[in-house]
Every structure is written in C-alpha cells, then in structure tokens.
C-alpha cells in the first residue's frame, strides 16, 4: 500500500523553492500513448517561468536527440541513465554524455542479443520494442505497448532472464529495459545537473521535483524529497518499495499538468495566474 500524501498537501512554501522539474515521459507526460497539447504546454510554461525542465526516461537515444533539440526542455536523460543529451542553442550543437564508452556499449550489445533470443524463445507474446533500432545502450522488451498485455508472471520472467545474464532490469509502464552497468536514472541525473547547471542534488534536493509513474522511477522517488506520482502510479502499489512523496489526482498528462500549475502558481505567488488546462 502506498503511503504517499495527496499532491494538495505539497505546501506552497516548499513549491516556491523548486527550480528544477524532472519528469518521466510514458504515462506521465503522455495519455494513452500520446503527448497531448496540455502536457507540452505545461513543459513550455514551466521553462518560461524560469525552471530547469528535463525528461528522465527509458526511451531511446534517437528519440532523446529530437526531444533535446525540439521540445521546450533543458536536456534529457535517456535509456534509464545510459546518457544525457543537452542542446546548446548558442553554439548550435548537441552535448552528449554517456555512462559507458563506445567500446563498452558495443560489447554490451552482443551480450544483450543473447538475452533477446532467450526472451523471445521463453516468453510467448513478448516482443522487442518498436523503438529498439534507435537505442544505443539497452534492450527494451515490449509487454503491452504494441503487443497484447502480458500477465505479470510473464513480465517477471523477462526480468529474471535479464538478471540471470548479469544485467540490470527495470520495469516501466510498457517495457522491461535491461542493460549492463551500475547506472540508473538517478546516477546520470546527478551528473547531468552538476555538469550543466552546477546543481548538487544532495545539497539542493529540496529545489528539485521529480514526477513519474512506475517501478523504474523508484531510484528517483526514493531520493528526491519532492517526488510526485501521477495517479496511475497506484497501479503499482503492491510492487513499489520506494513510493513517491505525493500523488496527483490526475492520471498521466493530467497529473503532470496538475503539478505544473501548482509549481507555477507558487513561483508567481498567485494561484490564478496562467493556469494550464488538462
């Protein structure tokens, strides 16, 4: 059972201190697999209000390149911490950091290929994620995005296969992502914020909000004092050992917009200013 507080209890005093918003993408910014205008507008409004905004996602490098270039964000951490990308508008170039070297990632791909073959052989209905071609460091196995939803026992079996091979495996709302290495969303977020904004997440923890929805967000939920789950995080209530501090009323994009409005109102000192419609 999740012991998180309602988002309404996130005090204005604490909200007014926030200067960084970190967010998952799938089923946090999206609704039914799509990014609605309300969520995109909320990202833009947060950035215009002077906040640093960055998606922290399991999505692939190819997607993250576009996100860093074209979304109203200040950078993106992708493939569950394999890298961060930040587009420098002044110099017109992409800044890229990887948790592992080119040679290490190439070696990992061979090991992940063996896992892929085993998963497809042993877990009926599982599929390699449609975005796998755009990944640089991990293997994503689809259990409900573009395939009929698999039972929890099948998802857990996928995790076991990754772990049997010595890989890290994390469950998102749509995929099981697996990789070799000790990095995760939190470790690379730490590097990203220090490198790009000279923000120390230990010393400045209370200035940061993270919002997510699923088990692969647990390192972030557990670390950040101002962590938020959109309402669909409750679907994982029995499997979260590190729940978010607060839970929004709305699911997916609606929950993100709910949080954005609260942060912007606290920053402006006026609850009626510039509300975004969910």
Domains and CATH numbers, the chain: 5-99+183-268 (3.40.50.1000), 102-179 (3.90.1070.10)
- Average pLDDT estimate for 262-268: 92
Q: Which residues contact 100 (CB under 8 A, 6 or more apart)?
A: 82, 108, 137, 181, 183
User: Alpha carbon of 28 to those of 51, 172, 179, 269: distances in Å?
Assistant: 18, 11, 23, 26
Helix/strand/coil for 265: helix
Sign of the alpha-carbon dihedral angle for 86, 89, 195, 265? negative
| Pairing mode of beta strands 226-229, 246-247 | parallel
- The full DSSP string for 119-180 is HHHHSTT-EE-TTGGG-SS-EEEESSSSSPPPPHHHHHHHHHHHHHTT-EEEE-SSEEEEES
Q: Is it the case that residue 87 has pLDDT exceeding 80? A: yes
Calculate what percentage of the chain has a pLDDT beyond 70: 96
User: Alpha carbon of 63 to those of 53, 67, 144, 149: distances in Å?
Assistant: 17, 6, 19, 24
How crowded is residue 16: how many other Cβ atoms within 10 Å of its Cβ? 14
User: Alpha carbon of 56 to those of 44, 65, 210, 225: distances in Å?
Assistant: 16, 13, 9, 17
Confidence of residue 273 (pLDDT cuts 50, 70, 90): very low
What backbone phi and psi angles, to 5 degrees, belong to 178?
Answer: -130, 145
Per-residue confidence (pLDDT) for residue 94, from 0 to 100: 98
pLDDT tens digits, 45-77: 999 999 999 999 999 999 999 999 999 999 999
Q: Is it the case that residue 36 has pLDDT exceeding 60? A: yes
Per-residue confidence (pLDDT) for residue 6, from 0 to 100: 96
Question: Quick one: the chain helix, strand, coil %, rounded to 5?
Answer: 40, 20, 40
Q: Can you tell me the distance from the alpha carbon of 126 to that of 116, in angstroms, rounded to the nearest whole number?
A: 10
Both tokens of 15, joined, read 């909200």
Confirm if 256 and 233 have CB atoms less than 8 A apart: no
- Average pLDDT estimate for 178-196: 97
Q: Work out the mean pLDDT of the chain and round it to a whole number.
A: 95
pLDDT tens digits, 156-176: 999 999 999 999 999 999 999
E strand spans, 191-252: 208-212, 226-229, 246-247
State the angle between helix axes of 37-48 and 252-268 in degrees (0 to 180), rounded to the nearest 10: 20
- How far out from the chain centre does Cα 205 lie? 17
Q: Which residues contact 121 (CB under 8 A, 6 or more apart)?
A: none
Which position has the token pair 């994503």?
140
């Amino acid at each position: 059972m999740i012991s998180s507080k309602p988002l309404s209890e996130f005090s204005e005093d604490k909200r007014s201190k926030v200067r960084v918003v970190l967010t998952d993408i799938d089923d946090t910014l999206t609704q039914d697999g799509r990014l609605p205008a309300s969520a995109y507008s909320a990202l833009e409004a947060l950035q215009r209000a002077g906040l640093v905004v960055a998606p922290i996602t399991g999505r692939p490098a190819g997607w993250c390149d576009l996100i860093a270039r074209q979304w109203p964000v200040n950078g993106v951490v992708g493939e569950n911490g394999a890298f961060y990308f930040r587009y420098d508008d002044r110099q017109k170039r992409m800044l890229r950091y990887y948790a592992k070297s080119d040679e290490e990632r190439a070696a990992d791909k061979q090991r992940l290929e063996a896992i892929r073959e085993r998963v497809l052989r042993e877990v009926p209905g599982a599929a390699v994620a449609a975005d796998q071609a755009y990944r640089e460091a991990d293997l994503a196995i689809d259990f409900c995005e573009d395939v009929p939803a698999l039972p929890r026992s099948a998802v857990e079996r996928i995790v076991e296969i990754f772990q049997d091979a010595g890989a890290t495996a994390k469950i998102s709302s749509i995929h099981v992502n697996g990789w070799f290495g000790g990095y995760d969303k939190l470790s690379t977020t730490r590097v990203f914020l220090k490198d790009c904004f000279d923000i120390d997440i230990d010393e400045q923890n209370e200035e940061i909000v993270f919002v997510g929805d699923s088990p692969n967000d647990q390192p972030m939920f557990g670390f950040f004092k101002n962590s938020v789950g959109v309402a669909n995080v409750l679907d994982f209530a029995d499997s979260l050992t590190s729940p978010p501090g607060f839970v929004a009323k709305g699911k997916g994009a609606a929950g993100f917009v709910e949080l954005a409005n609260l942060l912007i109102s606290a920053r402006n000192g006026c609850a009626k200013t510039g509300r975004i419609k969910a």
